[in-house]
Structure 1
Amino acid sequence: MNISLLYCFDLFGTAIFAISGVLLAGRLKMDPFGVIVLASVTAIGGGSIRDMMLGATPVFWIVDNNYLWVIFLTCLATLLLVKQPKQLPWYILPVCDAIGLAVFVGIGVEKTMRLQDSMMIAVIMGVLTGCGGGIIRDILAREIPMVLRSEIYAIACIAGGIVHTTSLYFGISSQSSFLLGVVTTLSIRLAAIRWHLSLPTLHLKG
């Protein structure tokens, strides 16, 4: 994929995940510092872990401070536009999260494939990029991470990553493969939100 287009997608995903963090912080009545922290870990947490695991250091937001500016400006804009987050429709937070999730999985797969050629590792890093920040966000908010609950979340990431890497394997262009993966992840996640789809949970007797 064209590097500049990938960069735009990355900044877009950063803003979307930051919004997700701000909305959750607002629901939990956090102060401005808490809002920024929750937005930041949501937006760059997964990518930071990915870069450290791949040895792509310094991590992306240290090399390029635009990510931090996007987070800060997104926090400011969201706080100004959303005065009473509790009155927002229930689906706003999960839909924002789904969009950011799909974009970040694609970013994670694309960046990993540029650094090495293992499809399996690319899928894993895509899932980590998409879910890592949300896991940190939910832990800080004292909630069970969405990826560990019965919701179809990580499965959507895995499916999108597989479609992305498989498309590349069969010679489909990087840009088209990226979009196919993003659409796959987003479609599955939105379907799960719309129809309340979930995975079976483990119940142990004793």
Structure 2
Amino acid sequence: MTWEVFSIVGTIAFAISGAIVAMEEEYDILGVYILGIVTAFGGGAVRNLLIGVPISALWEQGMLFQIALVAMTTVFLFPNNLLKHWRKWGNFFDAIGLAAFAIQGALYATGMSHPISAVVVAAVLTGSGGGIIRDLLAGRKPLVLRAEIYAAWAIAAGLLIAFGIASSPLELYLLFAAIVTLRVFSYTYKWKLPNRHIEGETSL
């Protein structure tokens, strides 16, 4: 049940996130559906390839595809005066998708008895892979590469699950809430990881 809940929550959140980005870029309805589907399922497809799950497993998620289509259609049909307020919620839905799919990916890898490194990679790819593909298709710098902390929260989720610190349904739901909250704080208060800037030589 926990697995299914995170799958559904992540699918809805990322489908809506992809649809919002598509409408911000003024894509037509086909573009909205394509970007939403890629966002919702792209990370899981990449994860499956890397941890040894047949890519055909993606097509066995018929119910999730239907849920994604309903979510995207609902957002697309929203009145313009309400939709302009929804657009600013794009980061929030992305935070929900990141948390839900990072946990789902870690649980998936743990269930296959993969090592800790694979669990962390599965968490990161499932949580951020779809968003990376979405942003690249939309001509944007991927969120995972921006200044605010993003993928680090997926890594934390993967480690907590890999070491068994978060394993019961209650612990996983609390972890989900914590990741969403931390991600929201990240972009609200501009939390950043250390970085260095190397200036290039200027030609005379």
Q: Same fold (TM over 0.5)?
A: yes
- Counterpart Cα distance in 1 of 2:187 and 2:4: 28
Q: Aligned residues: percent identity?
A: 31
Contact 1:61-1:67 at 8 Å conserved across structures: no
- Counterpart Cα distance in 2 of 1:79 and 1:89: 11
Instruction: Give 1:70 deviation, angstroms.
Output: 1.3
- Counterpart Cα distance in 2 of 1:82 and 1:138: 25
Match for 2:192 among 177, 198, 206? 198
Instruction: Give 1:163 deviation, angstroms.
Output: 2.2
Match for 1:5 among 2, 6, 18? 2
Provide the residue aligned with 1:69 in structure 2. 66
Match for 1:138 among 135, 138, 144? 135
Contact 2:128-2:151 at 8 Å conserved across structures: yes
TM-score calculated relative to the size of structure 2: 0.89
- Counterpart Cα distance in 2 of 1:104 and 1:9: 7
- Counterpart Cα distance in 1 of 2:155 and 2:2: 23
Provide the residue aligned with 2:151 in structure 1. 154
User: Residue 81 of structure 1: SS of its match in structure 2?
Assistant: coil
TM-superposition CA deviations, 1:148-192 (whole Å, max 9, x none): 1212001111122222223x1x5x644244224323322221111
Instruction: Give 1:77 deviation, angstroms.
Output: 0.8
- Stretches (4+) displaced over 4 A: none
Pair 1:185-2:182 in alignment = no
- Counterpart Cα distance in 1 of 2:143 and 2:132: 7
- Counterpart Cα distance in 2 of 1:104 and 1:41: 14
- Counterpart Cα distance in 2 of 1:146 and 1:188: 15
Task: Specify whether residues 12 and 107 from structure 1 end up closer, same or farther in structure 2 by C-alpha distance, changes over 3 A only.
Answer: same
Instruction: Give 1:136 deviation, angstroms.
Output: 0.2
User: Residue 77 of structure 2: SS of its match in structure 1?
Assistant: helix
Pair 1:98-2:134 in alignment = no
Contact 2:24-2:87 at 8 Å conserved across structures: no
Q: How many residues align?
A: 200
Unaligned runs of 5+ in 2: none
Contact 1:26-1:85 at 8 Å conserved across structures: no
Unaligned runs of 5+ in 1: none
TM-score calculated relative to the size of structure 1: 0.88
Instruction: Give 1:193 deviation, angstroms.
Output: 2.1
